[in-house]
């Protein structure tokens, strides 16, 4: 029997800072090393023919980090988006993004839009970057959107159900994740896709994100394939 492949994989890329600390390096070096694991994750998903890959790249809480680290992360993001555009096109990868994107500085935001536009015609893997993203903020924004539709007479409150609510979330164009991977051994969701992962399978990897490579990604998918997904049924 062929291996069951998740249509949508979401990843909490945790451990960049600890990876750098263990090596006596600045935290920004951990983030740079983590970018290589992003490349390998994209390659793994392309090989496995996964349709969607969502990466928790920068949370709404990350803005609270020291200004120097935030600036370094934004610089790395802008460079990644610029340098990887051709590679994404070569791999037929379409870039998308979710979150409160307008909170991003002008440089990274402009480059994000350019790379999204440059890859819009690709038909392979859809890579979704969660940027300035928080699940609680997403749910609040979804509620506000529904309230506006009700106020404007576009939505009958009696018609509101989970399917309607889905259509007001950042992720309305994508299916829910089938598999959530978290690295660094931490056992928490960190305000990531709380609505969407209701029935996702979860794989916790002990490796820090910069050490999590293509083989580890394949192992996580194999663990997913071995599970019996019942979605609350028997």
DSSP summary character for residue 14: -
Known catalytic membership, residue 92? no
Of the listed 51, 62, 141, 176, which one is catalytic?
62
Known catalytic membership, residue 176? no
C-alpha distances (whole Å) from 3 to each of 26, 45, 220, 226, 227 are 40, 14, 12, 9, 11
Of the listed 14, 16, 178, 216, which one is catalytic?
14
| 3-class DSSP assignment, residue 76 | helix
Is-contact 22 210, C-beta < 8 A? no
DSSP string across 137-162: HHHHHHHHHHHHHHHTTS--GGG--H
Q: What is the β-pairing status of strands 126-133 and 179-182? A: unpaired
Q: Which residues are catalytic?
A: 14, 62
């Amino acid at each position: 029997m062929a291996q069951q492949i998740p249509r949508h994989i979401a990843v909490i890329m945790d451990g960049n800072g600890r990876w750098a600390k263990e090596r006596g390096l600045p935290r920004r070096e951990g983030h740079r090393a983590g970018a290589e694991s992003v490349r390998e994750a994209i390659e793994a998903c392309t090989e496995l023919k996964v349709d969607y890959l969502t990466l928790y790249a920068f949370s709404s809480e990350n803005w609270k980090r020291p200004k120097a680290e935030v600036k370094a992360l934004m610089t790395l993001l802008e460079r990644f988006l610029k340098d990887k555009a051709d590679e994404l096109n070569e791999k037929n990868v379409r870039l998308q993004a979710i979150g409160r994107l307008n909170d991003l500085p002008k440089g990274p935001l402009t480059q994000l839009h350019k790379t999204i536009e440059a890859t819009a015609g690709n038909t392979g893997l859809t890579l979704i970057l969660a940027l300035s993203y928080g699940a609680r903020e997403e749910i609040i924004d979804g509620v506000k959107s529904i309230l506006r539709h009700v106020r404007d007479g576009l939505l009958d409150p009696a018609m509101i159900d989970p399917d309607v609510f889905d259509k007001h979330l950042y992720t309305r164009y994508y299916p829910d994740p089938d598999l959530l991977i978290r690295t660094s051994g931490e056992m928490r969701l960190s305000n990531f896709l709380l609505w969407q992962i209701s029935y996702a399978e979860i794989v916790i990897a002990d490796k820090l994100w910069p050490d999590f490579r293509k083989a580890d990604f394949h192992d996580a998918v194999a663990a997913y394939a071995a599970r019996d997904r019942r979605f609350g049924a028997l």
